[in-house]
A and B are shown apart, each in its own frame.
Chain A
Amino acid sequence: SYELTQPPSVSVSPGQTASITCSGDKLGDKDACWYQQKPGQSPVLVIYQDNKRPSGIPERFSGSNSGHTATLTISGTQAMDEADYYCQAWDSSTVFGGGTKLTVL
């Protein structure tokens, strides 16, 4: 079965750029999505089709996907961006990465 691998944690200072990676076999040939989940809340879609932002998602969230790695980039990271982030792709079924805890400190 298809697998997506994320680093368990990423730390970033306020105002700096955070990058969260998601790796999978030929992931660049698929569309990647990203979700933000804060404690006690449901996930929120922040990126779809590799680099598209749903309505209401701040411009500081961007994405890319090439080769075997998709990347979620948060520019000018704010304290409110501290959350768990999950990547997702479709390989005949829905597959999630294990999640990355983003700490803003």
Chain B
Amino acid sequence: QLQLQESGPGLVKPSETLSLTCTVSGGSISSSSYYWVWIRQPPGKGLEWIGSIYYSGSTYYNPSLKSRVTISVDTSKNQFSLKLSSVTAADTTVYYCARQYRQLGHPIDYWGQGTLVTVSS
């Protein structure tokens, strides 16, 4: 059974860089069938796609966040990571990592439990 686990600081100061890592277990991040994605959800609000990465390192970002986002992958550790720079209070949300099919309409079939990141001084 595939599992994804987010890790990283739960508190980040304004203007600093948020860094999260997703560890994948029970399956290989190097599969050609999937993207690995970051999604966020402000408390009580809807889902927002942040970006995706393929195991080769190809990345795709939400245009509204593109200038601040970097997603990377470490296949040796079966991990992928998110960096979001110049954070503000608006970036206080639950961050999910997940697996997304590259075909079949691109459904997201496995999600991490999510981690709340608060931006505050």
Q: Show the binding face of A for B, using Cβ within 8 Å.
A: 1, 30-33, 35, 42-45, 48-50, 52, 54, 86, 88-90, 93-99
A94 touches B105 (CB 8 A): no
B52 part of interface (Cβ distance < 8 Å): yes
A96 touches B109 (CB 8 A): no
Query: Measured between alpha carbons, how far is A49 from B46 in the docked complex, in Å?
Result: 21
A96 touches B47 (CB 8 A): yes
Nearest B residue (CB) for A47: B107
Chain B, residues 79-108, CB within 8 Å of chain A (1/0): the string is: 000000000000000001000110011111
Residues in A whose Cβ lies below 8 Å from that of B48: 96
Q: Which of B34-65 contact A (CB under 8 A)?
A: 37, 39, 46-49, 52, 60, 62-63
Residues in A whose Cβ lies below 8 Å from that of B104: 31, 48-49, 52
A88 touches B108 (CB 8 A): yes
Query: Measured between alpha carbons, how far is A49 from B47 in the docked complex, in Å?
Result: 19
**Contacts A1-B63, A86-B47, A93-B49; A45 near B107 (Cβ below 8 A):** yes
What is the interface residue range for chain B against chain A? 20 to 34
Query: Measured between alpha carbons, how far is A90 from B106 in the docked complex, in Å?
Result: 7
B54 to chain A, nearest CB (A): 14
B105 touches A93 (CB 8 A): no
**Contacts A42-B112, A43-B111, A93-B60; A33 near B105 (Cβ below 8 A):** yes
Residues in A whose Cβ lies below 8 Å from that of B107: 33, 45, 48-49, 54, 88
B77 to chain A, nearest CB (A): 22
Q: Pick the contact of B105 from A42, A50, A86, A98 — CB < 8 Å? A: A50
Residues in A whose Cβ lies below 8 Å from that of B67: none
Residues in B whose Cβ lies below 8 Å from that of A94: 37, 39, 49, 52, 100, 106, 108
Query: Measured between alpha carbons, how far is A95 from B62 in the docked complex, in Å?
Result: 9
Query: Measured between alpha carbons, how far is A49 from B104 in the docked complex, in Å?
Result: 6
Residues in A whose Cβ lies below 8 Å from that of B47: 35, 43, 86, 88, 96, 99
